Amino acid sequence: MNPKVKLGAVAMLAVAAMTTTSIVSATSATAAPAKTGGRTITADALGFTRPSPEGQKRAVALADKAIAAQDGNIAKSEDDVFALDKATAVGGAQYLTYNRTYRGVPVYGGDVIVATDGAGLKVASLETTQKAELSLDTKPSVSASKAASKARTLVAKVDSVSTPKLVVHALAESGAPRLAWEVVVSGSSKTAPSVQHVYVDALNGSILSNWDAVRMGTGQGFYNGNVTITTSSGYTMRDGTRSGLACGGQNGSAYTKSTDSWGNGQGTNLETACVDAYYAAQKEWDMLKDWFNYNGFNGRGTGYPARVGLNDVNAFWNGSYTNFGHNQANNQQATPMDVVGHEYGHAIYQFAGSGGGGSSNEDGGLNESTGDIFGALLEHYANNPNDPPDYQVGEEVNLVGQGPIRYMYNPSQHSGDPNCYSSSIPNTEVHAAAGPQNHWFYLVAEGTNPGGGKPTSPVCSGPSSLTGIGIQKAGQIYLASLQLRGAGNRTHAQARSQTLTAAKQQFPNSCTEFNAVKAAWTAVNVPAGSNEATCTISNPNDYSIAVNPTAGTVQAGSSVTATVNASLVSGNAQSVSLTATGAPSGATVSFSPASINTGQSSTVTINTTANTPSGTYTININGSAASGSRSTAYKLTVTGGGQGQDDFSVSVNPSSATVAPGGSTNATLATAVTSGNAQSVSLSASGAPAGATVSFSPASVTAGQSSTVSIATSSSTPAGTYTITLTGAGTSATHGTSFTLTVSGGQGTTTWQEWKQYSAGDTVSYNGVNYRCLQGHTSLPGWEPPNVPALWQRL
């Protein structure tokens, strides 16, 4: 293995050809088919035969006849029409789904699924959820706009509402079939994204049913710990809210299972690898949106799937998906956050500006650096305590057993990679050629002596002390510069020019950011070009916003209005977009118009519903313009509304502890009122190991108060890790939270030895690091704790 292994080689894209990028500067190995008993396993060897094209045609004809003959109870009426929607094969069977319309109106719940054998010779079943024949008028009494307004009430923060579609709602569990409007409302709840499919009765305006396309699964990653990931219905690792994002194995299919709990936290487990990759990709998408107002990885709302299980010490982006292998020790998958961010950074580079990529080493180095930049940005945005943000590349995966493979603050720390630009860069291997721009980015973000435990960074020329502007601003400027990138090869000179232009565009009323970008390029020896941009600020554009009146009272179910004024403070007039935050449940805020110029005004209307809780609320009215954001407050008092159901939450801090047998630990269990009024909450615990007790002081609190949790073990308590559920039972609801208790082994911490029998819970020291045994075994040569995470957990 070449010791100069490189991460995430860039996809060199030309108009007519694409070169796959890899994590190392060598061709990726292709995994051989799995073998067992001396024979190659194929799908056909697993006991079924894939349907042939003739069998597929026979199945369609057979299903058509079965529906025409109404084989089975499909509640078919004279006005029903069926059309084949899709045909799939699973194992040795075929499944054909038919959509139903009634008098030309789609029927929700009226689909018919016909199952046949693989040869298409026999109907296995014919199913539908619709139980009654349809006989109803298809003329609505409720307008589409009223249905949309009703549907909006189910989502706390609404991003978009689809055009309502008239359907017949025929789900048996919802009663007799009804004419309805189907409305898709996208947005988010207080804690998670939401895509609600809402069915509003077209005759009386009530909600017949609704379902959320978003499934918030949980996953246990090797690098990121226990995380929440967005999955799709049917428990599939495919993201319905971030178009194109998915994760699965080498066949390209997203992982699917019977529960929404994923991974086991082990470094060799591929499902765990997908938890890490999928979580990181979702976080990178969110970072692009939240930090940079950028829509997806291509700027147009598109994401790309990830694959794990690559049989190579590598990871790559190939122009349409990312692919992740393992480290050289083959005990960890190559899916830490910065590696995932790096590979998706190549996608960002590919689709930004004129798109595509260049073929030169210099362009390749800039592309590699782009991946490193987005890996660092992702770590800082996610701020996951299991992978603290830094400016090293690949430090968690230890790809070839030599630690990080790049150091952005001092590239020469790895194998003498160049810190500075020189005439040799265009002929330097692309991963090493990432050095100058990586160094530039660190200097822009952090400066030479950032403090706070962050490393210092040298300069190649110019002033010896530079001050950073923060990683978010640095990332914003760099991403904006990529939109200026033309087709073909990019050079460092172009990168300097484009980032300076971007700094002026992104921060038009300040020269601080421009000067930091300029000084950092000089510090890495990228000289100024001819006709380089300059920055001077005189009489900058500025504005203010105000609302009149500043407060109002409304009866629940009614509305109130006020006037928002945008005033010119200095400079020239500019467009100001208006939004609002802080409205109570059931209330909506709208502006007419939603965008004004400074010197103009807009009418803000706050609509409430009968269920809007009584109380006084601060609604922030926000203005967004090129020169920055401004806000003003409006006090809304609601009378005669509902109180909301009494509810509370519980949490514990700390949420884990390690004790020796006979030891004890304490934690604080906190409660908080989430809606309505405070209530009495009784506390209890379950899941404690044998010989351990859990007590609360006090054992009952009023929501909003806290209690001390004491967990005591005995000398006989078995070693191991236990999840103790702490439960709060109130008068209107019951909630719980988890505490992880680890009881160490009875041997105490000793130095790891070969050929020694270890039991689960034993703790050892190896090279100054402590580890806990996860399962009993005899230690063999080469089974040192860092090499076998399936057996040892680092403490």
Residue with tokens 């806000």: 631
Q: Give per-residue pLDDT as tens, 653-712.
A: 998 888 877 778 999 999 988 777 788 999 999 989 888 999 999 999 998 899 999 999
Residue 551: pLDDT band (50, 70, 90) is very high
Does residue 49 surpass a pLDDT of 50? Answer: no
What is residue 427's three-state secondary structure? helix
Query: What rounded mean pLDDT belongs to the chain?
Result: 83
> 540 or 162: whose pLDDT is higher?
162
Give bridge partners of residue 709 from the DSSP assignment: 667, 696
C-alpha distances out from residue 220 to 224, 246, 260, 523, 650, Å: 8, 17, 11, 42, 22
Cα–Cα distance, 334 to 309 (Å, whole number): 9
Q: What pLDDT shows up at residue 358?
A: 57
Q: Give CA 723 to chain center in angstroms.
A: 26
Residue 179: pLDDT band (50, 70, 90) is very high
Closest CA to 140 of 70, 211, 226, 199: 199
> 633 or 55: whose pLDDT is higher?
633
Q: Give per-residue pLDDT as tens, 756-777.
A: 777 777 788 788 788 877 777 7
Residue at 481: amino acid letter? S
Cα–Cα distance, 183 to 176 (Å, whole number): 20
Residue with tokens 């995430």: 8
C-alpha distances out from residue 196 to 424, 569, 581, Å: 56, 43, 21
Helix (H) or strand (E) holding 581, with range, is strand 575-581
C-alpha dihedral (49, 53, 56, 62), degrees to nearest 10: -120
Quickly list H helices, 352-423. Answer: 361-382
> 669 or 127: whose pLDDT is higher?
669
Q: What pLDDT shows up at residue 337?
A: 95
Q: Give per-residue pLDDT as tens, 583-617.
A: 888 889 999 999 999 999 999 999 998 888 888 88
3-state per-residue secondary structure call for 509-553: CCCHHHHHHHHHHHHCCCCCCCCCCCCCCCCCCEEEEEEECCEEE
Q: Give CA 476 to chain center in angstroms.
A: 19
Instruction: Output the six-digit token pair for 183.
Output: 């409305």
Q: What pLDDT shows up at residue 746?
A: 46
Would the CA dihedral through 342, 346, 351, 354 be positive or negative? Answer: positive
Q: What pLDDT shows up at residue 356?
A: 56
Of the given ranges (246-255, 340-349, 426-435, 749-758), which has the lowest mean pLDDT?
A: 749-758
Residue with tokens 């018919």: 112
Residue at 149: amino acid letter? S
> 174 or 199: whose pLDDT is higher?
199
pTM recorded for the entire structure? 0.52
Give bridge partners of residue 236 from the DSSP assignment: 232, 256
Residue with tokens 């159901």: 645
What are the backbone angles phi and psi of residue 270, rounded to the nearest 5°?
A: -75, -35
Cα–Cα distance, 444 to 467 (Å, whole number): 8
What is residue 206's three-state secondary structure? coil
Q: What pLDDT shows up at residue 727?
A: 92
793: Cβ–Cβ under 8 A, 6 or more apart, which residues?
771, 772, 774
Q: What pLDDT shows up at residue 745?
A: 61
Instruction: Output the six-digit token pair for 123.
Output: 């109907």
User: To the nearest whole percent, how much of the chain has pLDDT over 70?
Assistant: 87
**End-to-end alpha carbon distance in the chain:** 31
Q: How many helices (H) and strands (E) does the chain have?
A: 9, 47
Cα–Cα distance, 347 to 341 (Å, whole number): 10
> 398 or 71: whose pLDDT is higher?
398
Q: What pLDDT shows up at residue 44?
A: 33
Q: What is the mean pLDDT of residues 195-199?
A: 85
Do the beta carbons of residue 9 and residue 24 sit within 8 Å?
yes
What are the backbone angles phi and psi of residue 152, rounded to the nearest 5°?
A: -60, -25
Of the given ranges (26-40, 250-264, 540-554, 673-687), which has the lowest mean pLDDT?
A: 26-40
Instruction: Output the six-digit token pair for 613.
Output: 């809780």
CA angle (436, 439, 440) in 5-degree steps? 85
Does residue 315 surpass a pLDDT of 80? Answer: yes
Q: Give per-residue pLDDT as tens, 445-457.
A: 999 999 999 999 9
Q: Which segment, 42-46, 539-543, 706-710, 737-741, is predicted with the most confidence on average? A: 706-710
The DSSP 8-state label assigned to residue 478 in this structure reads H
Q: What pLDDT shows up at residue 717?
A: 78
Do the beta carbons of residue 542 and residue 627 sit within 8 Å?
yes
Does residue 577 surpass a pLDDT of 90? Answer: yes
Of the given ranges (84-98, 345-359, 644-658), which has the lowest mean pLDDT?
A: 84-98
Of the given ranges (348-357, 464-473, 505-514), which has the lowest mean pLDDT?
A: 348-357
